[in-house]
Amino acid sequence: MPFKPPFWSPSQAEAILFDWDGIIAETHLDFSALHEKYYGKKRAMLLEDSVHLAPSERKSLMRDLEETEIRGASEATLVPGASDVIAWTERNKIPWAVVSRNCRKSILLAAEKTSFKLPPIVRSRDDGDCVKPDPRALVETCRALGADPVQTLLIGDYIYDMMGARRAGMRGALVRERIEPDWDQWLEFSCGSMTSLRSELDSPGETVAWEYRELADTHGAGFLRKAASITALVPADDSAGTDIWTAKAASLGIGAFAVPDVPFSPRSWRANTSFEPGCMGASLADAIRSFLRVRFPLASVEPFSGRESCTELPRDPDEIEGFLLSRVKRDG
């Protein structure tokens, strides 16, 4: 069942990117020996931090890393519930792909060992110039799928997956039994296994979108629902502060913005430099839509026709929260 903003469910994804190891194939990879050998047991990102190694050390690391992955892939098994989640994905005609930090050779070997049919699009660290959590790896995969990143769900089992999802403006589902305390700020949805994720897809629960989590903790679900039901009329002028006003209203859960039909000129951008420069010459609605798209993707932006039932929020951004709190209290 669909949920209205500011709530959502993994079942609403229009495209899904799956991590490989730990999500589809279980290879029991242990990189502790590599951390000890090359980084002195320091907490490091094996791939990204290798730029600080001497060229010969980096070459040795990459060789050892591939050997570790191949060794794990040679004994790979399917993660329980993974086939069921993918069957649900295909039955609902949701495009999907695999995105992994592993080498391609190990993915192909694990797929062969488990008799798993890989999708047409598989991105390994051997494909392209970047790997997750670099958002480009995820956005480029979405582009190959013909999918919109803000409508895409990334399913992974490690913090790098959730970091990548956040950076790419995607939704993220962490599938892992044990979660580190410092991961919480990145999390939106989590469950202990692919089997439990499959159950969630069948009987979805209401999840507060990541961008509204702190707001829900502070003011509660009633506040969120009230704010989401409001269509705010954006001030007609494009003077300095429209970007700040819009960001504040959106951060407080306003569900829709009705924007006067005025152009977004070079003068407008100079007064509101948080908006994308590429929107100059378009409409103010386009500028606001582009601005909110990756920050608050559940908020809708439409031109103001004069017929909508709109709410005029205070022009001072600092007064919007108090205004909304009074509305919630008034309406019960």
- The β-bridge relationship of strands 231-233 and 77-78 is unpaired
200 and 249 inside one domain: no
Residues 105 and 21 in one domain: yes
Give the pLDDT of residue 109.
Answer: 98
Give the pLDDT score at 219.
94
pLDDT of the residue at 73: 97
Residues 220 and 203 grouped into a single domain = no
pLDDT for position 143: 96
Show which of 185, 208, 231 is a domain's final residue.
208
Residue 57 · residue 38 · CB < 8 Å? yes
Same domain, 19 and 132: yes
Question: Domain for residue 182, yes or no?
Answer: yes
**Domain CATH code at residue 236:** 3.40.50.720
Instruction: Give the tens place of pLDDT for each residue, 77-118.
Output: 999 999 999 999 999 999 999 999 999 999 999 999 999 999
Do both 183 and 278 map to the same domain?
A: no
Distance CA 230, CA 257 (A): 8
What is the per-residue DSSP string for 204-272? Answer: PPPEE-GGGHHHHHHH-HHHHHHHHT-EEEPPS---TTHHHHHHHHHHTT--EEEE-S-B--HHHHHH-
The Cα 155–Cα 77 span in angstroms is 18
Question: Which of 208, 225, 256 is a domain's end point?
Answer: 208
Res 238: pLDDT: 58
Residues 202 and 311 in one domain: no
Residue 176 is given by DSSP the state -
CATH number of residue 132's parent domain? 3.40.50.1000
Q: H helices of the chain, where?
A: 32-39, 55-73, 82-91, 104-114, 135-145, 159-168, 194-202, 213-219, 221-228, 242-251, 266-271, 284-293, 320-331
- Which pLDDT score is estimated for 41? 77
Q: Going residue by residue through the chain (332 aa), what tens digit of pLDDT does each one get?
A: 568 888 999 999 999 999 999 999 999 998 999 999 999 878 788 888 898 899 999 999 999 999 999 999 999 999 999 999 999 999 999 999 999 999 999 999 999 999 999 999 999 999 988 999 999 999 999 999 999 999 999 999 999 999 999 999 999 999 999 899 999 999 999 999 999 999 999 999 889 999 999 999 999 988 999 999 999 999 876 567 899 999 999 999 999 999 998 899 999 999 999 999 999 999 999 999 999 998 999 999 999 877 768 999 999 999 999 999 998 888 76
pLDDT digits (tens, 9 = 90+) for 177-229: 989 999 999 999 999 999 999 999 999 988 999 999 999 999 998 899 999 99
Q: Residue 178: inside a domain, yes or no?
A: yes
Residue 291 maps to a domain: yes
Q: In this structure, are 100 and 147 located in the same domain?
A: yes
Distance of CA 220 to the CA centre of its chain: 23
Q: Report if residue 129 sits inside a domain.
A: yes
* Confidence (pTM): 0.91
Is residue 45 situated within a structural domain? no
Predicted pLDDT of residue 1:
56
The three-class DSSP label of residue 323 is: helix
Number of domains in the chain: 2
Question: Does residue 61 form part of some domain?
Answer: no
Judge whether 112 lies within some domain. Answer: yes
CA dist 75 to 23, 69, 215, 307, Å?
A: 15, 10, 45, 64
Question: Is there a single domain that holds both residue 184 and residue 91?
Answer: yes
CA atoms within 13 A on the CB side of 312: 5
270 assigned to some structural domain: yes
Note whether 18 and 148 are same-domain residues. yes
Tell me which residue range forms the domain holding 278: 216-331
Q: Are 25 and 110 in contact (CB under 8 A)?
A: yes
Residue where a domain terminates, one of 181, 208, 235 = 208
Question: 147 and 169: one domain?
Answer: yes
Residues 254 and 320 in one domain: yes
